Every structure is written in C-alpha cells, then in structure tokens.
Structure 1
C-alpha cells in the first residue's frame, strides 16, 4: 500500500493543493487505484514480474477523469497477478490481508474488538482497493470487475462494490483480462459515493469503441417501493451457501416486502452452467491478451535465451506466475482448431442463453436480489486448501453472471457474522438502469445501518501489516 507515503515521496504538493481547492465534483477526494490501470505517476505492474518495471506514458481514461474532477490519486493497490483470482493472494507482492479479523486494533460500531492471531483474505482480485477503503485510508477505491473482482472483495471487506453496465465506463488504459467482460469498478463506503464516482467516470470515450453515452445515475430521495418488483433467483441458493448468508438474504427480502415491494422467486435455468461457460471464455481471452507479453517490446525479458523461440519461452515462463501460465495453456487448448467448436463455440452459445435468461427476467422485474459471496471471509489457510481455479468457481458463482450479461450489479454490506465479519448481498438491474439499482441499494443501506469499521492508531500500527 504505497499510497500512504506517495504524496511525500513524489512531491506532488502542487497537485494536491490544486485538487483540494478546485471546484471539481471530487475535489480533494482521496482515491486508490488498482495496479492494472495505467498511470503516469506510478508504475503499473499488474502484480506480476512481467511488468514489474513498467511505467506507462499515459493515464487510463478513468484515472484522467478522476484527476480532472479534483481527486487525489494516492497510489496503486495490490491484486492477484493480472487480476486472475478471487483472493488477492497470487501476487508478486504477496497476499493482501483483510483489515476485518486482522490483528490491527479497530472498532466496530464504536466497540473495540479483541485481537485474534489469524487473519482473513481480502477477496479479489481488487482486494487492495477494498482494504484501502475499509481501513479508512481513502474514500474511493478503483477496481476492475471481470467476474466479480470488485464485488467479491467489497463483500469480504464490508464496503460497497459497484460494477456498472458493460460499455458505460471506458476500459482505455485498463490492462485487459477478458475484453468482453472487463468493467472498471468502484469501491466505497457508501452507495452515494459510488453513484457520484460513477457519474464522473461514465460516458463515451473516443479511445474505447465499446463505450456509449449514458445518463448519470440519479438517487431517488423518496423511493416508492410499492412499484418495485424484486426477483429472488432460486438457482442462487447453491451448494456451499452458508446459513448466515441465507438468513440475511431472507431477512432483506422480507424487509423489502414489508416496505411494499413485490418480492417473488424467479428461475434463471442456465445459471448452473454459467461458471463453466465463464471459465472457458475467460481462459480463451486470457490466452489472446497475454500473447503481447513476449519479452521483446516491453515487460520482462529473459537473459538466457539464445534464439527467438527460446527468448519467448523463457521470458514468459520467468515473467508469469503459475496461475497465469495455467490459464494461457488452457485457453490455447480450447482455441485449437479441433477443439474450437467443442469448447469456445459451445461456451458462446451458453452465454447467449444466460443473456436470454436475464432479458426474460427484466420483462417482469426491476432488480434481482442475491448473495454476493457464499460466506464471510475465510482465513488464508482455509482459502489455500483449494487451488485458484476451484476458488474462482466457488467465489464467482453469484457474481460472474452479471458480467456474462453485461448488466450492472452492486454489493452492499448487510450484517456481521458470528465471527464479527461482514456479510453482503448483491443487487442486479437491467442494463443502463444504474439509477434504480443504486436507489434500491441506498434504501437497503439506510435500513440495515451496517456498522463501519474504524481503524485505531497506536505506536505499533503499521499499514504494512495490512
């Protein structure tokens, strides 16, 4: 978490003063940026040896828009290598610890918490940004969301994680993972802050041909729930769902119903196939996107290669971690001519069926209410019992369908588990209807009054312990 000392080290006093005294919508707002967005002031490493010394010559569009509105970019945050993971543990810099359940002194709702020897994962792959916001180091965290990488860590860290509609926010300057699903995401402590940041970032960008003009999100001050129709997808009651998450899911649905909303179960029959479909498409696009890192143009270059082919092979094997190499191999296997129709072609057909499930639901419902993650944050030991692929299957089950369909989704903290860790739920709405989505999310936020974490300062407290 370099951002706590970045301002002094970089001697950006004038930029800071300008930001504070400017009249931008985010004037003086502190922002931490996930380390897969290009920034001129900081290296952009993607937590990988491959890009450990890479310093871009331009800012990502979202970073430039934040600066233009007076935000103070404090620095870059940790992630799983090239955003491939759901725990922020597969990083060149080591795992990111969740401040919840950590040995650092903090209060929950004004009550001090006793220290415990074990620590929890932060979720991923935007775990660094989520921890930065949860610990109070900054007001806004910028993340990326391909299968839940903003909402998953937000759920584990007790903050708001918002994935806008695909194409509503520019991806220019976001080092790609899966082009057809990547979306810049927003992490904040409140829904209102998420909406404000979205309104700064959204809109057409000449550098990203997929973007469209969209209306800013408007939060309803007096939301009338009597006209709201809420769907509860029965397929999201899946294997591994903890009793505590099921309990808050039911209680929140009841809360909406008692306030006048029409709440009923819906069926999205292709949900069970979604994670397998996502895995195939993810790895195919990863194989394509990672091909540019060859050790010649930029990135890590091996000193051992004696031929062009050997240089390619050694640079990539030295520069990429095990998880990244595994996905590249799998993607290239799926894309072989003899396998193309069997895997990639079939996955594209399944994705279309998943999108049709969503289209059908939006004909009768305004929002869907689901779990975000299946439980509270596991310990690193518990998380490490399964490999990266198996963890992604579990942790992305409820989140990746929104990326498959492109619809907006937001995770909001609801209550604390028996372990005094955050439990969160997810809302989804039809494409480009961020106003309804965030208005309902803010209404729930006000009703549940989730107890925010307050990090305490003492002589032994160090940001490095996060």
Structure 2
C-alpha cells in the first residue's frame, strides 16, 4: 500500500478499498520504523489521525472538509483543502542553508538507500558510521518520501535544495517556474530565487500536486495566473516532436563516471526514440557559482536582519548594551553556516563594495538568464543535465569540507536554473555501483512546467528505476532509540513554544 502512487492510493480511497485513517496509521508506523533516518523532527500523529478521520467523513458524505487552521503557508493550506493529511515536519539544514542536510539543529538526515542490502554489500565499515547523506537542504522531505513514510513532501528550492536531495534519495523533485507557486508562509532565504518544491515518487504525482498548488495568491504579489493545462499528463507521448539540448558546459570537473554514464545513456535513449538531441552552449555557466554566492549572501544578510532578538527569534540574556545583546543573540541563534553568509552579505553590500560585488553579480545573473533564453529560442524544448556531480557521499567524508565549498560543488548544475527563474525536475534513473540513486535533471522554459513534466514522465517510463527495499532491522533498534529521544525532545520544545 505504501509503495503506491498518489493516483493509485487516491483511487483506493475513493473505492473504499482503504480508509484514510488506515492509510495514515500505516504511514505513522513506517515513520516509527525508520526513525533512524532522522528525516522527521516532529511527528504530528494526533493531528494526522484527526485529519484522516475528517477525510474519511468527507469521503462518506461527499462534503468538503472546511478545516481552516490559524495560519498555514498557502501551499500547505491548498493541500489540506484537498484532503491531504499532515504526518509531520521534516528535518533540514538550518534556515535551508546547506547542501547535505547535515547542519540542522536536530542532527543530520540519513539516506534511506544506506539501509538497503545492495549498499550494505558494498560497505565494509560499521553501518552506524558508513551511512550516506541525503543532500540538502530539504533532506528530511526527500528521505520521508524515499522511505515510503509519506506520499509527497514539500521543501524550498533556492539553488537546488529539493532537486539535490531528490536526486540523491531517488525521488522525483520538481522546482516549478518562479512565481507559479505562492511563497506566502515560506521563510525567505533568497526572495528573488525561492520556490516551494514538490517531492513525490513519480512524475505523475508531482504533476497532480502542481495542479493543486499553482496559481495566483493575493498574499504573494509575485505570483501569476497558472496557464491552462490538461486534466492530467498524457499516458503516451510522441517524443519525436521534442528537441533535447545537452549543455557542453555541464561536463564539470568532479563529474563521476556513474553520473556521466547515466547522462549519456538517457541522451542516447531520447535519440534512439526519435527525439532530436543536440549539444548547446550556456557560456556564462562558469561564472554562475560565484554569482549565486554573492546574491545569496546579500539577500540572506537582509532577510536575517529581523532575527535580532527584539522583533523575532532567540533573545540572549546578555543585556550590558544593545550592541552586545544583538551580537550575542545572533551568535547563539545562528550556526556557523548562517553567520558566515550574513557576514559575507553585509560585506558585499557595503557602500564601498556594492557596485563591485552586488551590481556585477546582478549583471552576470542577467547574462546567465539570457543564455537559457537564447538556447530555447533556437528550438530546444528541454535541457538534459546531471543533477549532482555524483551519488550521495558518505557522511564521514562529507563533513570533512566546509559548507561553502560543499554547497558550491553540489549546486553547480541546479543554481543557474533558480537565477533564471526556470522550471526544472530531477528524475531518478539508476543506481550507482555503490547501490545509491543517480538522478538527472530536465530544464524547461518559463511557465512550460506541464510540457517539462510530460517529457519527464516519458523519461521515467523508459529508465525503469527500482523500488527501494530497506534492509532488515539489525542495528536499527539502537539507532531508532537514539533518534527517538531527539524527536521527543523536539516535540516537547515545540509544544512549550506553542503554549507560550
């Protein structure tokens, strides 16, 4: 049941073959069985069962739910209005700043594929130290979907934060066109690039969720009216009408042999099926990492300014002076990754540096966006690229490098899309020789998300990605016990906050 798609399980609910409460209980049980992944920081079991009961009542009576919480992000509210059940809040890097979901206050998230027999056969070290990362920053969401604990999850995508973990965890991750989904309720990282991302186990499911979430929102002035689309993705699609571009600049240093092999295999697959496949050039890609870093830090410095201990956020007990209180509050309230970006952003925005860094970065961003426009004007329908340089790194190896370096490396293929505001989706294609997922990215034209997903579904049907089978529960009980203690602590902390 948990391995079904959203479409299949929705039909089962309508047919009465399963109840919402029964399905919710299965998801909650699966979360409990996979606590060792550290994907969830809060399990809303009581709320989930209440919502599931209301869904059962609605299915029996045919009446809408009518449930309106005090405040929800628009994308969350739209899902609840359609009968979705919230099973929990997932783990992520602090303020979504990270590339591995290893820098959160609730500890790192573990990749579910680290607990498959195939990965374990390749591993020679202790299972408790040899697990792979999920990618970031929305790693908890990706792990929840990949481990069959939920049918869909949301994240935020500023430079690849849903596509990166989607690729490493073997799930579909969609970054819609900027402005197609409301950002109301999303804590801002980079206002001009942030997009709510969708994670599911199939492209069709991602399209289903997109239809629910897209469209104008009076609480977000950047949103636009969603274009008219068919009721669902076509089951059969003639790929011969499509031209696929292969950006030559994406043959980046550090690209693994496994990823390169899958990129070539899928490109050949398109060509053999009759699609036109041609090499294209995005000449300013080489400058995108530096450009993104400057713009990201500048907007982070601006957005994080409100967390000063007086208006919002943690407040230090140090009160010797206002400056001392501010300094101590922000040191205690932010980890080193967030503090580094704030400091860098303030430096770039100094009057003496503003034109040298921020203005030049904005100019380069325009050139990067023009590169994409020129390629699409030439007749290209979609671009096929890697999503990440390689499969998921081992946690013990990943933490050896600083976060800035890791983020620059892991987002090399994804962050140009955010700077251009384009839609992109990562689709799992195969397992590496280590037994870990490899995903490839398709990039589409502005507001042509449906066309992008149509091509992605065709690709998904051809690659035949395997279903996850988690390893036995040896070594998992101890891990669950440790993570469960953290979960209970976080639940108590959030409960006390709500009481206040």
Change (3 A) 1:217 1:236: farther
Whether 2:96 is the aligned partner of 1:83: answer yes
Structure 1 counterpart of 2:217: 205
Change (3 A) 1:11 1:71: closer
Greater fraction of residues in helix: 2
C-alpha distance after superposition, 1:260-315 (max 9, x if no partner): 10000000000000111000000000000000001012321111222222211111
**Structure with larger Rg:** 2
In 1, Cα distance between equivalents of 2:404 and 2:177: 26
d(CA) in 2 for partners of 1:443, 1:211: 29
Aligned counterpart for 1:191 among listed residues 185, 203, 217: 203
Q: Deviations over 1:53-106 (max 9, x none)?
A: xxxx5111111111001000111111111000110011111111111123xxx4
Change (3 A) 1:456 1:68: farther
- 1:442 and 2:454 aligned: no
Correspondent of 2:189 among 147, 170, 177 = 177
Deviations 1:386-435 (A, max 9, x none): 21010011100000011010000000111111101111100001011111
Rounded Cα–Cα distance in structure 1 between residues aligned with 2:210 and 2:251: 30
Provide the residue aligned with 1:18 in structure 2: 54
Residue equivalent to 2:136 = 124
Match status 1:66 vs 2:103: no
1:244 aligns with 2:258: yes
The corresponding residue for 2:173 is 161
CA 1:107–1:187 in structure 2 vs 1: closer, same or farther (change >3 Å)? farther
- Taking the TM superposition and a 5 Å limit, the aligned residue runs for 1:92-103 are 92-102=105-115
Partner of 1:401: 416
* Cα distance change on mapping 1:303 and 1:5 into 2, 3 Å: closer
Structure 1 residue aligned with 2:154? 142
Matches of 1:78 and 1:177, distance apart in 2: 17
* Pair 1:253-2:267 in alignment: yes
| Counterpart for residue 54 of structure 1 | none
Any idea what SS the aligned residue of 1:71 has?
coil
Distance 1:264 1:289, change over 3 A: same
What residue in structure 2 maps to residue 356 of structure 1? 370
Q: Check the 8 A contact 1:203/1:212 in 2, yes or no.
A: yes
Whole-angstrom distance in 1 between the partners of 2:103 and 2:393: 16
Alignment partners' CA distance in 2, 1:402 and 1:4: 30
- My pick for the range that moved more, 331-340 or 207-216, is 207-216
Distance 2:455 2:355 in 1: 41
Q: Which whole-Å CA distance do the structure 1 matches of 2:182 and 2:92 have between them?
A: 20
1:408 touches 1:430 (CA, 8 Å); kept in 2? Answer: yes
Residue in 2 aligned with 1:370? 385
Distance 1:115 1:270, change over 3 A: closer
- For 2:343 and 2:42, locate their aligned partners in 1 and report how far apart those are by CA, in whole Å: 39
Equivalent-residue separation in structure 2 for 1:207 and 1:89 (angstroms):
33
Name the SS for the 1:22 alignment partner.
Answer: helix
Partner of 1:46: none
State the secondary structure of the residue aligned to 2:43.
Answer: helix
For the Cα contact (< 8 Å) 1:4–1:74, is it kept in 2? no
* 1:6 Cα deviation after fit: 3.3
Provide the aligned length of Structure 1 versus Structure 2.
432
Could you tell me how far apart the structure 2 residues matched to 1:439 and 1:231 are?
Answer: 16
Q: Please give the alpha-carbon distance, in whole angstroms, between the structure 2 residues aligned to 1:165 and 1:98.
A: 28
Q: Do the aligned partners of 2:42 and 2:90 also contact (CA within 8 Å) in 1?
A: no
Point out the more displaced range, 282-291 or 311-320. Answer: 311-320
Q: Name structure 1 gaps, 5 residues minimum.
A: 28-39, 42-56
Q: What's the CA shift string for 1:143-191, capped at 9, x where partnerless?
A: 1000000000011101111100000000000000000000000111100
Does residue 453 of structure 1 match 2:468? yes
Instruction: Tell me the SS of whatever aligns to 1:101.
Output: helix
Counterpart of 2:311 in 1: which secondary structure?
coil
| Equivalent position of 2:402 in the other structure | 387
Q: Is the 8 A contact 2:262 2:430 kept in 1?
A: yes
- Native 8 Å contact 2:178 2:422 kept in 1: yes
Contact 1:23–1:70 under 8 Å retained in 2:
no
Q: Which deviates more from structure 2 when the two are superposed, residues 177-186 or residues 311-320?
A: 311-320
SS at structure 1 position matched to 2:87? strand
- In the alignment, the residues of structure 1 paired with residue 388 and residue 121 of structure 2 have an alpha-carbon distance, to the nearest angstrom, of 24
Calculate the TM-score normalised by the size of structure 2.
0.82
Contact 1:244/1:375, CA 8 A, preserved across alignment: yes
Deviation at 1:450, TM superposition (A): 0.3
Task: Kindly report the root-mean-square deviation, in angstroms, between the aligned alpha carbons of the 2 structures.
Answer: 2.3
Alpha-carbon deviation of 1:252? 0.3
SS of structure 2 residue aligned to 1:142: strand
2:103, 2:166 → 1: CA distance?
18
- Asked if 1 retains the 8 angstrom alpha-carbon contact of 2:170 and 2:438, the reply is yes
Measure, in 1, the Cα distance between the counterparts of 2:188 and 2:137. 13
CA distance in 1, matches of 2:39, 2:144: 11
